[in-house]
Amino acid sequence: MFLNFNTAKYASMWNGKKDLLGMNDLSKEEIEGVIRYSSALEPLSGKGSKLGICRGEILISAFFEPSTRTVTSFAAAMHTLGGDVQTFLESGSSIEKGETKEDTIRTLEQYGDALVIRDSDPGSVARYASLVKVPVINAGDGINEHPTQALYDMYTIWKQFGRLTNLRIAVVGGLKYYRPSNSLVMGLGKFEGNKIFGICPPGLSLSKQYSNGCYEEMQINMTHLNEVLEKIKPDVVYVTRLKKEYMPPNEDTKNYFYVVDNKTMAVLPQNCIVMHALPRVWEINTEIDSDPRAIMFKQARHSLQVRMAVLALFLGHEDELKKL
């Protein structure tokens, strides 16, 4: 008597994976696949491009934390793939009537073909993903991970250097509370010969669970940042924001100050690029924006191609990507 409701709706998964929750969901080969497909999509993601790959599919972005880049670039990615987009923000929703986030997610599942979710609680997005049959992309779960950020960071590095191996990467700042650096260290750790230097003030170490063999931490007085960078001679300086929203409210952040400015640029190698996931507050001085090595906004642009690839893959369209 009881009818079946859509139980076979999401038979198609990418290599048997339903969700992208963290970088350990992807093998080295799968990361290379994302980058290869992103590269194929890049010339098709400009002005006037509209693909039919996701036609008739609806992406729902559920953001329980603020966002500019992530929500907009996922929407632009889905629109360019030919799909539709709906954005759920907590304000104005039934959360205000007392609904749990779990019920909200289970409801949104009914109307979307994939969910992109951000939440301040580490591990929450994995919990939400376990409740629903549609693919879930983690767009940031508190101080844990932000895998699509790391994927487009890696795509940006690959575009600059033509490789993801044998690179020297300095990750600078308040690592303890910063999810993009967690995901990036994990992702780069899958490739040979990389050396990642975590440069942070004492107290803001990378959490152990995200570390790996290519990671070396240097806890320093951040006033000496330029000297340290000069010694390291990195290919990439990846600057992070001090995430005050995750820090204890009364924590004294005076000793955590660091800035990449023209003096820093002067000591960096000629081919070194400066990256930042944005938003920045004070940690990159705008005076360096005109330096061609400061590629933060080009990096942001790459989120478009990479999120197109991720959405297409997790919505079961790898065959169509192969034909590009």
Pairing of strands 58-63, 114-119: parallel
Sort residue 156 into left (φ over 0), alpha (ψ -120 to 50) or beta: alpha
Among 36, 69, 79, 101, which one carries the catalytic annotation?
Answer: 69
Contact 106, 100 (CB under 8 A): no
Residue 88 contacts its own copies per CB under 8 A: yes
Residue 259 contacts its own copies per CB under 8 A: no
Contact 257, 220 (CB under 8 A): no
**What are residue 187's DSSP bridge partners?**
none
Out of 96, 209, 213, 250, the only residue in the binding site for its own copies (CB under 8 A) is 96
Q: What distance lies between CA 150 and its chain's CA centroid? A: 4
146 is known as an active-site residue: yes
Query: What torsion, rounded to 10 degrees, do the Cα atoms 74, 153, 17, 319 define?
Result: 70
Contact 202, 266 (CB under 8 A): no
Out of 24, 27, 28, 66, the only residue in the binding site for its own copies (CB under 8 A) is 66
Residue 290 contacts its own copies per CB under 8 A: no
Residue 56 contacts its own copies per CB under 8 A: yes
69 is known as an active-site residue: yes
With contacts defined by CB under 8 A, name the span among 22-30, 53-61, 139-147, 193-201 that binds its own copies.
Answer: 53-61
Query: Could you tell me which residues come within 8 angstroms of residue 186 by beta carbon, excluding any fewer than 6 positions away?
Result: 22, 23, 24, 145, 150, 210, 212
Q: Please state the closest distance from residue 237 (CB atom) to its own copies, in A.
A: 15
Residue 63 contacts its own copies per CB under 8 A: yes
User: Residues interacting with its own copies, by CB under 8 A?
Assistant: 1-3, 5-6, 9-10, 46-50, 55-58, 60, 63, 66-69, 72-73, 75-76, 79-80, 84-86, 88-89, 91-99, 102-104, 106-113, 159-160, 241, 245, 271, 278-281, 286, 292, 297-298, 300-301, 303-304
* Active site positions, annotated: 69-70, 97, 118, 146
